[in-house]
Amino acid sequence: MSPIDVAVVALLGGILGLDTVGFPQAMLSRPIVAATLGGALVGSAEQGLLVGAALELFAIETLPFGASRYPEWGSSSVVGGALLASRPEGEPGSLTFSVLVALVVAWAGGWSMMQLRRFNARRARRRLESLAAGNRRAVMELQLGGLTADLLRGFVLTAVAVSAAFPLQQAVLQQWSLGAPVSRAVVVGVAAGVALGATFKLFHNVPGFAWQFMVGLAAGVLALLAV
């Protein structure tokens, strides 16, 4: 990838990283959207969608409650989508590697969001007197400064991840020795297992959960047989 390509992908990662919490929280940062956009930017929205759907299965269990630490899916999914879209369709190991990198970047993104929250707290502490005096400028500086820092956070995270992961992907896939069926089956099995566990964790308290889920499952299996 050329530096310009990295910058363009990083800009998308920055914008979608900002969406996670800062602005506008429209869930453009969900994997199924962000990875598709990342893939489209590199030339294959279809490949981006594939990794986005796999990551979305992991993301079902993420509950972004206030102060808790959770994976940052926006920037990481852009990286995952861009990685898979840069490889030939169906290449053994490529989906596995893209998903793994996206999960690691999501973890790093969660850590970087915590650092940003501490940074925002330091900035707010320095302006306590101005805030207590009802100074409009202090409020604007804090808010716009926080948004800018969040955008930069996502940009830098994506740029570093893309710069490191593309050469690593090349090296890993050159050495990959397992066949396409088993490579794909493992990553999809792991993702679906996490999604199944998350569904139970989220909804087991809902009255009639087992029935609702089983009826849905039966309809899904029937649709599968029909297709």
Partner 1 sequence: MNERKDVPLRVRLAMLLRLLAVQGSWNYETMVGTGIGFCLEPALRLLPGGARGERYRNALARECEYFNAHPYLCAVAVGALARAELDGEPRERIERFRTALCGPLGALGDRLVWASFLPLSSVAALLAFGLGAGPVVVTLTFLALYNFGHMALRIWGLETGLRRGLSVAQALAAPALQRAPMRLGQLAAALAGMALPLALHRLIGPGRALLGVVLLAVLAAGFALARLRGRVEGWKAAVLVLTGFVLLGVLA
Q: Which of residues 181-200 bind partner 1 (CB under 8 A)?
A: 181-200
Q: In angstroms, rounded to a whole number, what is the distance separating the alpha carbons of residues 21 and 112?
A: 12
Residues near 17 by Cβ (< 8 Å), separated by ≥ 6?
29, 72, 74, 75, 109, 150, 151, 153, 154, 155, 157, 158
Q: Torsions phi, psi of 207, nearest 5?
A: -55, 130
Segment 26 to 55, residues that bind partner 1, using CB under 8 A:
26-28, 30, 32-33, 36-37, 39-40, 45-46, 48-50, 53-54
What is the rounded (10 degree) CA torsion for 81, 86, 89, 94?
-70
Complex with partner 1: residue 7 or 173, whichever CB lies closer: 173
Segment 65 to 84, residues that bind partner 1, using CB under 8 A:
65-67, 71
Q: Which stretch binds partner 1 (CB under 8 A): 9-17, 153-161, 170-178?
A: 170-178
Looking at residue 25, the DSSP 8-state letter turns out to be -
User: Site for partner 1 (CB under 8 A): which residue of 5, 117, 156, 160?
Assistant: 117
User: Site for partner 1 (CB under 8 A): which residue of 43, 135, 164, 167?
Assistant: 135
User: Site for partner 1 (CB under 8 A): which residue of 13, 17, 93, 109?
Assistant: 93
Complex with partner 1: residue 79 or 106, whichever CB lies closer: 106
> What's the closest the beta carbon of residue 215 comes to partner 1, in angstroms?
6
Nearest Cα to 210, choosing from 219, 200, 220?
Answer: 200
Which contiguous run of DSSP H or E holds residue 112? helix 94-126
Residues near 177 by Cβ (< 8 Å), separated by ≥ 6?
none
Complex with partner 1: residue 81 or 159, whichever CB lies closer: 81
Chain position carrying tokens 């390509």: 5
> What's the closest the beta carbon of residue 15 comes to partner 1, in angstroms?
14
The reply to whether 152 sits near partner 1 by the rule CB under 8 A is no
